[in-house]
Each structure stands twice: as C-alpha cells, then as structure tokens.
Structure 1
Amino acid sequence: MMETRKTPTIQDVARSANVSTATVSRALSSPERVSESTRARVSEAIRVTGYTLNQAARSLRQRTAKTILVALPDIRNSFFSSILDAVEREATNRGYGVLVANLFNARAPAQRLQDYMLSNRADGLLLLDGSLDLSSLQTLVRPPNSVPLVVACEEIPNSGFHTVLTDNLSAAERATRHLIDLGHRRVAHLLGPEGNVVARDRLAGYTKALPRAGLEVQQQWLFRGNFDMESGFAAAAHFMSLSERPTAVFAANDESAIGFLSGLRQHGLTCPRDISMIGFDDLGVAAHYTPPLTTMRQPRELLGRMAAEMLIDILEDAEHRRGPMRIVLNSELIVRESTAHLPLRASG
C-alpha cells in the first residue's frame, strides 16, 4: 500500500531549524527582525521539509501581497530610472505595488532575494541583474519555492527564464558601422565590466562589424572600462599613451563615453575635431553634453513596461508560466554632434 506523505507544517520547519514557530513566522514575515544565520537555517529547513511558498503565505495571511519585487544591480545608476518608472506605472495600472531591492555590494544577493520572496512581501520577482548565480536562481523558481521570475535588461544564458531585453549585439554592430561609414578605419572600443553579459554582447557586435569592413580587431584599442565615468576618464589617459591612436571610439555605454571625453579635454583634445565618439543607452544627459552625444537609444520605458506586464500576466494566469517567453526590443541610432566624417588629413 502506498504511503501518503503528510503535508509539511510550520512546526516541521521549526523542528528542522531548531527554532520556535514564532521565529519561523518572523523569518517569513519580517526577515529583518531575525539574524542572517537564523534566516539561513529557516530557509534550509523550508527546502528540506518541502514547506512551500504557498503554504507559507496561507499560514501568514489568506491573500496575496499584490506586490512585485524589482531587483537591480546598482540603484545609483541613472540608466534604471526610466525603467523603474515604467514598471511602477504598469504595476499601478494593474493594481500592484512595487518593492525595490538594491543588490549593489550585497552579500549573497540570491539569498537576499529568497528571503524577500519567502516573507511573502512580494508575489513575483523582476530581476534587472544578470550576474547572479544561475543555480541559486533556479532553486528560487523551482518547487518548493516556485517564485514567478522575469529577467530584464541582462539575459542570463541557458537559464530558461522569461526574458525582456534589447538587441545589444546587433545594436553595437550598428554603432561601430556608423563610425566606419564616416570614414574611420582606426576604431576603438571602450569596454564594459569584465564578465558582464551586456558588455560581452556589445564587444561581440564591435568585433563583428570590423571584419565586415575589412578591418582587424586591434587588442591595444580595446580600452578597459566599467560602465562608469571614472573608468572612461582613466581610459582617456591610456588613449593618450598610444603611439598610434584611433580616430573614433565606440563606448559600451554613455557614462563611460562622457568620462572618456572629459579626460581627453584635460589633454587638449576636442570631439569631434580630434576624435569621434558614440555611446550606448541615450541617458538624459547625452543630448545635453558638449558635444551632444551620438548614441544607441535603448527603449527603456518600453522595456520596463513590457517586463512588468509579462510578470503580472504570469501571476494572474498560470498559462503564461509555460514558456519560456523571450522578447528582444530594437535600439535606435541617434546621431548628434560627437561623430563626424574623418578629416582627409587623418585618413592615411
């Protein structure tokens, strides 16, 4: 005769974690009120006993949170502002609130997200950071946790997660080709952070465009960067040290492009007279910098709206959980004053 397994209870979790049921409840409803080690023990006990997220929710209250959690790598980065605004507007229109988790310098970020979700403070997770450990995220989305998850901005390769992103590789190729079409043959690339999937795709677009124009990738023209103005400023000093300098630079984002141009100005060079520069993102400052920055415009508001819409659809209709769904949005070349035709004197 087949043995029927007893449905795990909060008491089972408490026994497994060697804490009281009150502590388990606090760890689920107000994780900030218990120590990190206790939260970890309770999370592990939930996994071992099979006590599910839905059971935890029912034991605490008989309703959903009607809230989504948005997790991003660095809230200080202005790139995310219009995305967050679009997410909040779409969520509000659908009757949901929004929580924001800033993962910048967070210890064990995946564990932090699990704590949020097991506390039942949010019904689903919108992740804007592709650097998190894949196995930890898979634990979060699989039973017994079964957290609805949508990844946006940065794709996590081979994850099988629902994803909304922009065409980083093909847009980077278009950006590089724009410089080549202006007559530039010595084209450099200001990189993004090492290991970052977006930076990797933009480098791939750059390296794809050069051979198609009969140009070779020069390792000395790959400038180290980190998606910030400081790294762009530092790259300008490296640029000045080169015996043969590029006449144009494709930067992996607008912030590093602006830092690079600021650094060149310190050395008496101006754009576009001495160098052409194209960025990526079209931040608000790009149109108002001197010179106004040519860039690839990501549809950030549309990305935020569609990502929030996808997540809420999943929450409200189990059929949407089948997939995975993957949406790729096109970026647009915005030509301003930082790129120009190569002067004849520099074309040799």
Structure 2
Amino acid sequence: MPGPGPTIADIARAAEVSTATVSHALGGTGRVGESTRRRVREVAAALGYSARRGPRTRTLGLAVTTYAGSAWNYVEIAYFSRLLTAATAAAHARGYALTLLPADRGAEPLWHTLAVDGMLLLDSPAGDPVLRALRARGLPVVFDGRPPDPRPGDVWVDNDHEATTREVLDHLAAAGATRIALHSAYGREYYTGAGTSAYARWCAERGMAEQVVPFDPEDAPGHAFDPVFAGPGRTRPDAVYCVYDPGGRQALAAAARHGLRIPQELLLVCASEDPAYAAGDPPVSTVTLRPEVIGESAVAALVALLESPEAAEPGQLTVPAALTVRTSTVRTSSRPARRPSRSARTSSLPASRTAPGAALGTPSL
C-alpha cells in the first residue's frame, strides 16, 4: 500500500527552509522572496506533495462564496450553471473529478476537511472565510473574478470590465443615447465596482450626468427605476445598462409601467446569459461574460498549479466578453455604429492577456 505521502516537514528539509516558510510559499502568504517561493514549490512538486497531506485525490473543489452563508442555489443562475457545466467537462477531460460546495454556512466544516487537491473560488469577497481556510491548509486556489486582496502567486480568470463597460456605453451613445443610466450598486463583487467606476469615468469624459439606479434582486417590478423614469424628459434616461441578470427584466417591467417604448424611447442592454432575452418582445441586447470559457480556463489554470507549479504564471487571465446587438438598442431613426446582421450581431470585446480559445466562436444565447 502507498505511504501517507510527503509532509510540509519533508519539503522544508529538502528545500532547506523552515516549515513556516513552506506554508507561506505554498499558501501565497507571508513575506517570502520569489526565488524561495519558486524553489519551495518546485521541491513540493518533485516530491508529489498534495496540501491534503496524502496521495492526490485527483479531485477539484468549487465554491461560490459571494454570499456565503445565504442558502441560495447558485446552480439556478444561468451564468453559474453554464460555467459549472464547462468546468466539469474540463476537469473530466484532464482526469479530475469536480466537487461543488453549497453556499450555506452550514457547509463550513467542509472547507477545512474536504478531500480535494485544489479549489476554484467564484466571486470571493473581502474577508472570505472559505479562502482563509483554504490558505491555512495550503491548498492551491484559482479565482473566477479578481480577489479583493491578491497575493503574490494568486491566479484568477476574469473579464476586462473597463473595456466591457466602455463598449456597451459607446454602443448606446452611437445608437443615439444622451442620458445613459447604470443599473448597479449592489454587492461587493469586484466587477460591480470596476464597472461602476468605468461608467463614472466615461460620463465625466463626455460631460454626461451619472444616473446610477440601485439594483435589488427582490425588486421584480423594477420600482427602483420609478424616480428616474417619472422625471422630466430632459433628465429621464434614454438608455439603461443593467449589470445583473435580473436587471433587464426589471427595467422592462418599469418601462412598461411608465409607458416608455423600447427602443424608440429607451435603449436597453443587460449583462446576462439567459436565452430568454433573445426571445422576448423586443429582443434585448445582451453582454455575455463567456462563462464556459472562464470555467474551462480556471480548471486549466488550477490543474497547471497542481501539476506544473513552477510554470504557472500568476495574475489575471483575461476572457473577452461579447456584446450581442438586438432590437432593444437599434433605433430606425438613428444609425447605429454596428449594423446587426438579420436579428443579432455578436462582437468580442478587447482583452489583454487572453485565455486560450477565448476568442474562438460566438456565445450561445
């Protein structure tokens, strides 16, 4: 029978450092020089070390920790369901199983004892207790979304939210909008703050007044829009960009209540993976964050950390988002910057360091 596998003490002896240095180097914590961190990881890989202190399980874990503690079913959300399907397929293709953790705080003991080789964390918030537990165990972690306080050696997969926001706003302006509202200001995810900041800068550059409508997941009728939709014509928004999936439906409900026709009087874009937006009346322009590519890229990055830690490149791996233009942002009286082909057109948004395969094909909406 195989033995229990190398321990942190074994790695410390082989690398000629203290066990504390090994823990910091493997967990991305403390003040460890890059050369020392790399040497420790190379020794750990050579010894076949798994942070679980035993033979590798060839199992990856996945947790959505944005609202950890709330008993919500993230699998029902289109973005997460599509990402999970792609991540599972990517893990299986590499010979790994993928275990999903529930969001409820009742699962907390699992974070300290779950038998996995590494973890994928989606939308990890500041002070994330799951992340603290994983770092304490020395488990490799790859993030979907920039972590609030990245450490040396951290790897995350994300979109370019500055570029995405500007692409959407530029499209709305080209379609004739002069007063664009942002439906956001909810949660502490990195992408929310990044998108809101990009919106503020874009408005300042053009001398356009900011109108941020607060999003509430329980506001199905879209009452948050009432104050701005009921305002005088010179201040009422003539376009809205919703950064949360339910936001588009809320904006549609509020527009109908206030008698605003889409797209004649109100242009609408929503960041969503829900195919129902394409089938509505009118079809709504959407932004896809490409969750399938993000899921596959995150799994590939985590497996690389496990199998070739010396070759892993820290920092952000960027997946381009894509805007699909539909009727809700095409006015017959204006000339849009991009003329749709038949009912829709999809464009990839720019990116820096791009995930392999991210620019191939078009999103399935």
If the length of structure 1 is used for normalisation, what is the TM-score? 0.71
Q: CA separation in 1, counterparts of 2:51 and 2:159?
A: 37
What is aligned with 1:340? Answer: 330
Aligned to 1:230: 219
Residue of structure 1 equivalent to 2:117:
123
1:77 equivalent in structure 2: 77
Give the superposition deviation at 1:242.
Answer: 2.4
Please list, as runs of the form range in 1=range in 2, the aligned pairs for 1:40-51 lying within 5 A after superposition: none
Deviation at 1:139, TM superposition (A): 5.8
Larger radius of gyration: 1
Query: Structure 1: how far apart are the matches of 2:162 and 2:256?
Result: 30
Correspondence for 1:17: none
Segments of structure 2 that go 5 or more residues without pairing to the other structure are: 1-8, 10-48, 67-73, 335-365
Per-residue CA deviation, residues 214-267 of structure 1 (Å, 9 max, x unaligned), is 22333xx210014x4736712232333323311111111342112211222133
How does 1:1-348 map onto structure 2 within 5 Å? 57-58=53-54, 63-72=55-64, 73=66, 74-103=74-103, 106=105, 112=108, 115-133=109-127, 137=131, 140-141=134-135, 145-160=137-152, 161-212=154-205, 214-218=206-210, 221-226=211-216, 228=217, 230=219, 233-243=222-232, 244-320=235-311, 323-341=313-331
CA distance in 2, matches of 1:66, 1:99: 11
Alpha-carbon contact 2:230-2:258 (below 8 Å) kept: no
CA–CA distance in 2 between the matches of 1:318 and 1:130? 22
Tell me how far 1:75 sits from its aligned partner: 3.3
How far off its partner does 1:282 sit? Answer: 3.8
Separation in 2, partners of 1:159, 1:150? 12
* Aligned residues of 2:155 and 2:316 also touching (Cα < 8 A): yes
Match of 1:150, SS?
A: strand
> 2-side partners of 1:206 and 1:80: how far apart?
25
SS of structure 1 residue aligned to 2:98: strand
Q: Tell me the SS of whatever aligns to 2:264.
A: coil
| Amino-acid identity (%) | 20
Which sits farther off after the overlay, 264-273 or 87-96? 264-273
Of stretches 236-245 and 189-198 in structure 1, the one that deviates more from structure 2 is 236-245
Q: Which amino acid aligns with 1:77?
A: I
Which whole-Å CA distance do the structure 1 matches of 2:147 and 2:284 have between them?
A: 27
Kindly indicate which of the two structures has a greater share of residues assigned to helix.
Answer: 1
Q: CA 1:210 to 1:164, structure 2 compared with 1: closer, same or farther past 3 Å?
A: same
Q: 1:140 to 1:254 in 2, by over 3 A?
A: closer
Gap regions ≥5 residues in structure 1? 1-6, 8-52
TM-score (norm: length of structure 2): 0.68
Q: Distance in 1 between matches of 2:111 and 2:124?
A: 18
Q: Secondary structure at the match of 1:102?
A: coil
Distance 1:326 1:232, change over 3 A: farther
Q: Residue 52 of structure 2 contacts residue 116 of structure 2 at CA under 8 Å; is this kept in 1? A: no
Q: Is the deviation greater in 203-212 or in 124-133?
A: 203-212
CA distance in 2, matches of 1:120, 1:229: 33
Distance 2:323 2:52 in 1: 48
For 2:304 and 2:117, the matched residues in 1 are separated by: 12
- 1:21-61 superposed Cα distances (whole Å, 9 cap, x missing partner): xxxxxxxxxxxxxxxxxxxxxxxxxxxxxxxx958643xxx
